[in-house]
Structure 1
Amino acid sequence: MNHEDIRLKFEQASAFFATNQTRSYDFRRSCLEALERGIRSHEKGLYLALKKDLNKSEHEAFITEISLVYGELSYIKKRLRRWMRPKRVLPSIAQMPSSVRVHPEPYGVCLIMSPWNYPALLTLSPLIGAIAAGNVCLLKPSAYSPHTSSAIATIVRESLPEGVVFVVEGGRAENETLLDLPFDYTFFTGSPTVGRLVMEKASRHLTPVTLELGGRSPVIVDESADIEKTAKRLTFGKLTNAGQTCIAPNHVFVHRSVADQLVEELVKNFSGTFDSEEHYQKDYPRIVNRKHFDRLMQLIEGQEVAVGGRGDGERLQIEPTVLLNSSKDSPVMAEEIFGPILPVIPYDSLGDLIAEIKTEPKPLALYYFTKDKERAQRVIDEISYGGGCINDCLLHIASPYAPFGGVGNSGMGRYHGVDSFRTFSHFKTVLKKSWYFDVSLRYHPFTEKKTRQARRLL
């Protein structure tokens, strides 16, 4: 799509928003219902697209993407009318007599830029929130997941009224054109590097942003943990989408006294995940492209491999890999891995480890495996991170009842459920004043008597 076509879509979306149709509950509800019908009617097509883009099995695609979209739709539809109502708040003494209400209203034309790793979920989930809040949108899916982008474009085109949502397919040139436009809100999911560029571009128009970024999400396993279950859950967290998950466990710090036991269990789980070569090739997601495949294989070079370590450049699949004794200055410990490679590093003191983690950029997620409630609370209280789990991985994001978002280098803003509605809404405070009474002390001339009265009242 060329520059002029994108600008035209932006103008068409702006014109549609100006009709005020999106401000009504009935319109928003009908759009959400139409979107859900479209997704359900094209569900098989989405599975096929995700298979082509990432070799995701239908089962993995459903539990990690499509089911979460349905859950978000169901949750929001049931509560939207209540969220849209103006909320009455108590007036202060200075405002009396009056009524004060906070009115949620849409921002206008929103830009949603989504990544390739969960291309259905991370495009449709913020879109649901934007529509629920009454906005119109330009969607920009990733060029690295073209089949899913095309499937979403078809769903949008066939399901929603023209002007509500436009899908812009393409790559870097389209991104640059979009980022130069004066959107009313920008929602970006991707890397911190690109997130900085998005924020810089948005600042030129004073456009508010939500940035859902990434980071090196650490795992801590202490000596009290159930090691067998820990290894099983870490395997799930790391191998889901072949580790190409923004909240995937990046590396594991394990107490030295149970390190050998954990490695043994991880080797067993990593090597036993797929019961046959056919199962491995059929259901194990591939690395998105050759560039990322080569980067990951380079991270393995020179490391001590406990299991895995080999890659198939033709299929772009890398064996589930556990690394041992990776030094802090090794490449694999210097960046977000974003692949099926799990370094395991022993530690001795939880206090020293907490201090070390706090010297790093704030991660998007943190996972702590323990049976000690006091230690768990210490980790929650002392380390800043986007979100996480005690004794599990990934699952903290799988609910519309709780917000998801990063902090610091891992992002800003949050969404899911009511937080999606809040993110895409401006909350406008309106005071309605009575004509029947006026407080004289606010008017000139100011006297000592008025000052005394003000100090008593305010």
Structure 2
Amino acid sequence: MRSNLESDLKELRETFHSGKTKESSWRISQLQGLLHILEDRESDLSMALKQDLGKHHVEAYRDEIGLVVKSINYALGNLKQWMAAKKAKLPLAAFPSRAELLPEPLGVVLIISSWNFPIGLSLEPMIGALAAGNVVILKPSELAPSCSSILAETIYDYLDCTAVKVIEGGSDIGEKLLQHRFDKIFFTGSTRVGKTVMYAATQHLTPVTLELGGKCPVVVDSFSSSWDAKIATKRIVWGKFGACAGQACIGVDYILIEKKNLSNLVELLKKYTKQCFGDDPNESRSMSKIINKKQFSRLKSLIDEPMVKSSIVYGGSFDEESLFFGPTILVDPPLDAAIMTEEIFGPLLPIITLERIEESIEFITSRPKPLALYAFTKDEILHKRLVSETSSGSIMFNDIILQYAIDTLPFGGVGGSGFGRYHGKYSFENFSHEKVVMTRSFLIDMWFRYPPWDDKKLQIIKAGFRYDYLGAVLIALGLKRKA
């Protein structure tokens, strides 16, 4: 750890209570500092992502650096509007009064990041926390040590070091952090660790946002043209194998398709997988590696089961020394096998066949709610049924992952895939408390609001609730009869 946790927390609280983080100028300067990190140190960040995850620099910029740059610029362009108080509409019963909703920062925020997108998943929530005027402790993942190190180095160089701290270390450091009181905890990671974070937060009644995972299905309907089929397959290949080698919480986990369309899909998947990664993906520089040996062994165990191994129709190659796992396609592995009951988080793509595509709805709803649901279809009836009869953090038709990159859309899970949402204004709101500020005049004061009570006052109060304030006044004055 860079410094003593107790003194760090003390300094953060002093900075927050000084009031400077509430100023728009301070918030803008911190967002600009984040932007300068990404612009000035782009090559260093790309190198760190290459070292930790084997990401090509184009993938690194597309999925992490560039996305965060876009998010910061969006926040800078909208911050003053987000900070402004919103006038609240009041009922006649409150006359003469005025009220507004004023967003205020929560205080000291703890952000615990994940290893699969170690730059993006650290800085994206930080944008919202700083824009909202909070002070922050960032705990990057120790499983991406190069990225953790460069974040610690650059954040202290570019941001207000009395308001932003980076605490590096393993799970023991995470446990120590969770023993302390925070005003908000934002966690991205596994459901197992999310439960630990949630339990620790209850000890201090700390609000929590959990960005977890789940098995994200893709429903593939019949295609009206070969062009549609080709585009859909390319997008699936990218969404499964091209996003951190499948190590993405909103990446494709498995496909649901009618049996009659299976062979065409498999051939197209093979074709475009080869087009993206070559005949020998291990020689391709366009595919990320598996993060560590533990995750590599877990993936290998998923396809080591005899019934699962026999369902492989493409790929299955791996190299433990380089932590490479090749794109692998499976058809109808056992539904009770680990590959179909656990989140895969790697380049293994099971395809489950159905007699009718409508059966996909029951298949999805019989399992935990996914973080994202994808469907390729032009059938409006199926479209409506998937929207109305399934539940997921988001649902995307005819593409993969794109919803994550849109600043005007909230991102978050539901049920076991997490709760709370962020991105764009939703990040600002996630790290803010919308305080009610109401002011009432001394000009008018109604006698029936005060004891001693009698039936006449009860009639007037009932009228006020049933009709409106004016009706209650008229009854009180004898100018209107009670209905």
Note whether the superposition's TM-score is higher than 0.5: yes
Output the TM-score relative to the length of structure 1: 0.97
Q: Distance in 2 between matches of 1:48 and 1:269?
A: 28
Contact 2:365 2:390 in 1 (8 A): yes
Match of 2:78 in 1: 79
Q: Distance in 1 between matches of 2:171 and 2:215?
A: 25
Between 270-279 and 210-219, the greater mean CA deviation after superposition: 270-279
Q: Distance in 1 between matches of 2:88 and 2:347?
A: 51
State yes or no: 1:62 paired with 2:69.
no
Contact 1:97 1:437 in 2 (8 A): yes
State yes or no: 1:228 paired with 2:205.
no
Query: Shift of residue 282 of structure 1?
Result: 2.7
Contact 1:271 1:307 in 2 (8 A): no
Q: Distance in 2 between matches of 1:171 and 1:95?
A: 54
Q: What SS does the aligned partner of 1:273 have? A: helix
TM-superposition CA deviations, 1:88-111 (whole Å, max 9, x none): 112233322111111100000000
Match of 1:44 in 2: 43
Shift in CA distance, 281/274, structure 1 to aligned 2, threshold 3 Å: closer
Match of 1:308 in 2: 315
Query: Shift of residue 36 of structure 1?
Result: 0.9
State yes or no: 1:392 paired with 2:420.
no
Q: Distance in 2 between matches of 1:405 and 1:376?
A: 21
Q: Distance in 2 between matches of 1:230 and 1:161?
A: 46
Match of 2:25 in 1: 26
Q: Distance in 1 between matches of 2:302 and 2:65?
A: 32
Match of 1:255 in 2: 258
Q: Distance in 2 between matches of 1:70 and 1:440?
A: 59
Query: Shift of residue 191 of structure 1?
Result: 0.7
Contact 2:257 2:357 in 1 (8 A): no
Q: Distance in 1 between matches of 2:358 and 2:285?
A: 44
| Paired amino acid for 1:68 | L
- Pick from 264, 268, 274: which aligns with 1:265? 268
State yes or no: 1:437 paired with 2:412.
no
Q: Distance in 1 between matches of 2:165 and 2:210?
A: 21
Match of 2:470 in 1: none
TM-superposition CA deviations, 1:102-149 (whole Å, max 9, x none): 110000000000000000110000000000000000000100001111
Match of 1:204 in 2: 203
Query: Shift of residue 428 of structure 1?
Result: 0.8
Q: What SS does the aligned partner of 2:4 have? A: helix
| Paired amino acid for 2:234 | K
Q: Distance in 1 between matches of 2:359 and 2:200?
A: 40
Q: What SS does the aligned partner of 2:412 have? A: coil
Q: Distance in 2 between matches of 1:272 and 1:320?
A: 12
- Pick from 333, 336, 346: which aligns with 2:340? 333
Query: Shift of residue 152 of structure 1?
Result: 1.2
| Paired amino acid for 2:328 | T
Match of 1:448 in 2: 455
Output the TM-score relative to the length of structure 2: 0.92
Query: Shift of residue 166 of structure 1?
Result: 0.2
Match of 2:287 in 1: 284
TM-superposition CA deviations, 1:235-258 (whole Å, max 9, x none): 000012100000111011111111
Between 225-234 and 67-76, the greater mean CA deviation after superposition: 225-234
Identity fraction in percent: 41
TM-superposition CA deviations, 1:146-203 (whole Å, max 9, x none): 1111111122101111211100111011000011110000000001111111011001
Q: What SS does the aligned partner of 1:350 have? A: coil
Match of 1:238 in 2: 240
Matches within 5 A, 1:82-161: 82-161=81-160
Query: Shift of residue 442 of structure 1?
Result: 1.3
| Paired amino acid for 2:453 | F
| Paired amino acid for 1:235 | V
Contact 1:35 1:155 in 2 (8 A): no
Contact 1:388 1:394 in 2 (8 A): no
Query: Where in structure 1 are there 5+ consecutive unaligned residues?
Result: none
Q: Distance in 2 between matches of 1:155 and 1:120?
A: 12
Q: Distance in 2 between matches of 1:81 and 1:331?
A: 49
State yes or no: 1:378 paired with 2:380.
no
Q: Distance in 1 between matches of 2:285 and 2:363?
A: 40
Q: What SS does the aligned partner of 1:67 have? A: helix
Between 421-430 and 373-382, the greater mean CA deviation after superposition: 373-382
TM-superposition CA deviations, 1:2-52 (whole Å, max 9, x none): 9x8122211211111010100111111111112211221111110010000
Query: Shift of residue 432 of structure 1?
Result: 0.6
Shift in CA distance, 231/278, structure 1 to aligned 2, threshold 3 Å: closer
Q: What SS does the aligned partner of 1:224 have? A: coil
Contact 1:17 1:136 in 2 (8 A): yes
Shift in CA distance, 359/365, structure 1 to aligned 2, threshold 3 Å: same
| Paired amino acid for 2:211 | E
Matches within 5 A, 1:179-218: 179-218=178-217
Match of 1:420 in 2: 427
Query: Shift of residue 211 of structure 1?
Result: 0.3
Match of 1:8 in 2: 7
| Paired amino acid for 1:375 | L
State yes or no: 1:457 paired with 2:459.
no
Q: Distance in 2 between matches of 1:158 and 1:174?
A: 23
Q: Distance in 2 between matches of 1:443 and 1:71?
A: 56
Q: What SS does the aligned partner of 2:66 have? A: helix
TM-superposition CA deviations, 1:32-77 (whole Å, max 9, x none): 1122112211111100100000010110011111111011111111
Q: Distance in 1 between matches of 2:415 and 2:328?
A: 29
- Structure whose alpha-carbon radius of gyration is higher: 2
Q: Distance in 2 between matches of 1:297 and 1:179?
A: 33
Query: Shift of residue 276 of structure 1?
Result: 6.7
State yes or no: 1:296 paired with 2:299.
yes
Q: Distance in 1 between matches of 2:446 and 2:358?
A: 58
TM-superposition CA deviations, 1:384-425 (whole Å, max 9, x none): 001131111111111111100000000000000000000000
Aligned-pair RMSD on alpha carbons?
1.5
